[in-house]
Structure 1
Amino acid sequence: MDEIKWGIIGCGDVTEVKSGPAFNKVANSKLVAVMRRDAAKAEDYAKRHGVPNWYNNASDLINDPEVNAIYIATPPLQHEEYTIAALAAGKPVYVEKPMALNSAAAQRMADASEKYGVKLVVAHYRRAQPLFLKIKSLLAEKAIGDVRFVDLKMLQPIASDIIANSEENWRINPAISGGGLFHDLAPHQLDLMLYYFGDATSFHGLASKQDISAPVEDLVTGHIQFENNVVFNGLWCFSAPKSEQSDSCDIYGSKGKITFSVFGQYIKINIEGKEETLQFEPLQHVEQPMIEQVVSYLIGEGENPCSAEEALKTMKIMDAFTKVLD
């Protein structure tokens, strides 16, 4: 393929700014069709964004001869069904995170990609952003020496402004999201750990419902040991007091520490008592750097920026932390 002609399945809120417009801003890429079950909303999105075709049925979009690649931006419940349908139709897929409801579903998606010989990429898009690439380079050059351990804390009040808004709060409906807010936010954080430190040799955790009014577990803890002996400790609480709100990740090395916010714009580097802060400008379209890499991969000019096999590792860790059964 010389040009990627995208169709979006699920042109909801998440695609308005974060991803949708970027498909027309990347070289060799064009957004040609969108789909949403609500026909009026699909038509409205298409008109506002200058997209020539719109549908209210996923099969119609997948079978549109003008569409040669599919971006799936629905809630996780539909990821497996739509991904496998698109792959079966011979059309490569870029699917949002989390990859699926659980690792069993993610495995079936990966198997389908192999079965049909069609490319599949998962939208762990922080891998491509300048802030997180800078951290990767700092680790590679051993700016803080040999990494010892990582401490991550995500503490949010019940009404947190870090959570993406949507018409229906499907993120706390496990039948649609796979779990609670952990399933929405932790994929970004855990994928970065695998991106930085490689494969995990062991991982375990537990989940608990602290807020009795919550429909899902709102506290999750997890521990990972990586092949290079780096140890990760993570704590996610979505019923913390507002005064203790936190989004922090500390990477400790033999010479110092790197501190950053997975959902913020800064890196602090402390080496033997000397601290430096790096600030990064917010991206207009946070997925654009990743979409550039996806397009490069699909036209045969680059590597897969996040394969199904890589994303499956994140799903398995999440399942272990929350004790999800297949």
Structure 2
Amino acid sequence: MLESPFYFQENKPIRWGVIGCGKVTEKKSLPAYQKTPGFQVDMVMGRNKERVLDYAKRHKVPGWTTDSMEIIENPNIDAVYIATPPDSHKFYALQVAKAGKPCCIEKPMAPNYQDSLAIYEAFTKKNVPLFITYYRRSLPRFLKVKQWLDENLIGKVSHIRWEKTKLPNDLDISGKYNWRTDKEVAPGGYFDDLASHGLDLFSFLLGDVKEANGEATNKLGLYSAYDMVSGSWKHENGIRGEGIWNFGASNRLDKVEILGTDGTITFSVLDEAPIELKSSSGHQTVEIPHPEHVQQYHVENIKNHLVGKAQHPSIGKSGLHTSWIMDKILSAI
């Protein structure tokens, strides 16, 4: 049974409005909404008139606006996708909840747990579906990892560890504005933008987390947000986890290892790399490419949820849990 009631008949188009027309929407998400049967994107909002007009023309979106309320309060818009930086998520989401419309919010849900909680409570009070764009829960590559775990192919899991490093990029060094390194928008810096994907995925694969802690520092001083984070956590089933996220490293690495009593599973969270299974039964390396628009399966799952076919794997409750883990690791709560 779905956690939220469904709202739409399957043969009725669901009309979306999109708040935000940044880079994430260009290929990853907006085309996925347009290509999902039964979905149509009817309006997009951006603060810059020339930019949003150009965006609407390029993506063949019939309506555009610089006022978010023209989307949120529009009787011809059924659902809203919020694709802005995290510091504005709460502002827009509370208005969408008040309007009683289903909503999908880009990850992370908000810059901190308290804002995420306010969003979650607003939609829960209205009994309106809320989705968070942790689309890795819907990708075939990670569903294969979950299948291996569910089939106990590496025995009883004891530990998961993730090391994610990257070199500073030209934007970091230039000092030009980047919301991902602004502590007012993303307190954890790239941790908020990138590590959130993995931490959410680990809860999906291994169960919710009951304890988490960590340490965050600004090692290089290139920007205001943290650039080095380390953390550890414990899932409710006793599985231990640890992570290192170094965004001022001398090399690039994205490696997750799940350890069991009878083997290991290795994969990358962010890089499009093979997944690998080693156990007493043998060695498998599997390559499963992402779809052209990486949010395609996530968006299709939204459709299935809204017509009552299936529960979406990334909803407000799970997104809130990920926000809690992140704040715990950043020692914010």
What are the residue-to-residue correspondences of 1:57-136 with 2, within 5 Å?
57-136=67-146
Match for 2:31 among 10, 18, 21?
21
Structure 2 runs not aligned, ≥5 long: 1-7
Query: Contact (CA 8 Å) 1:99, 1:311: kept in 2 or not?
Result: yes
Question: Contact 1:4 / 1:298 at 8 angstroms: preserved in 2?
Answer: no
Distance 1:273 1:216 in 2: 45
2:269 matched to which residue of 1? 262
2-structure distance, mates of 1:265, 1:94: 27
The Cα offsets for residues 254-297 of structure 1, whole Å up to 9 and x where unpaired, read as 11100001112310111138432111223210001000001111
Displacement of 1:65 in angstroms is 1.9
Q: Is the 8 A contact 1:4 1:299 kept in 2?
A: no
In structure 1, what is the equivalent of residue 165 of structure 2?
155
Q: How far off is 1:155 after superposition?
A: 1.1
Residue in 2 that maps onto 1:278: 286
Q: 2:155 aligns with which of 145, 150, 153?
A: 145
Cα deviation code 1:128-187 (max 9, x no counterpart): 0000000000000011111110110001111289x9xxx941110021223300000011
Q: How many residues align?
A: 319
Give the whole-Å Cα distance in 1 for the aligned partners of 2:267 and 2:14.
Answer: 35
Within 2, Cα distance between the matches of 1:278 and 1:57?
A: 46
Question: Within 5 A, what are the aligned runs for 1:281-292?
Answer: 281-292=289-300
Provide the C-alpha distance between the structure 2 equivalents of 1:71 and 1:156, rounded to a whole number of angstroms: 30
CA contact (8 A) 1:265 1:282 kept: no
Three-state SS of the structure 1 residue aligned to 2:292 is coil
* Aligned residue among 284, 303, 310 for 2:311: 303
Q: How does 1:112-261 map to 2 (within 5 A)?
A: 112-159=122-169, 168-242=177-251, 245-261=252-268
Q: Is the 8 A contact 2:141 2:289 kept in 1?
A: no
Q: Aligned with 2:27: secondary structure?
A: coil
> Which AA in structure 1 matches 2:273?
Q
Tell whether the 8 Å contact from 2:182 to 2:223 is kept in structure 1 after alignment.
no
What SS does the corresponding residue of 2:185 show, helix, strand or coil?
A: helix
Shift of 1:119: 1.3
State the one-letter code of the partner of 1:202: E
How far apart are the structure 2 equivalents of 1:253 and 1:281? 26
1:293–1:234 CA distance, 2 compared to 1 (3 A): same
The partner residue of 1:54 within 64, 84, 99 is 64
In the TM superposition, what is the alpha-carbon distance from 1:308 to its structure 2 partner? 1.1
Structure 2 SS opposite 1:19: helix
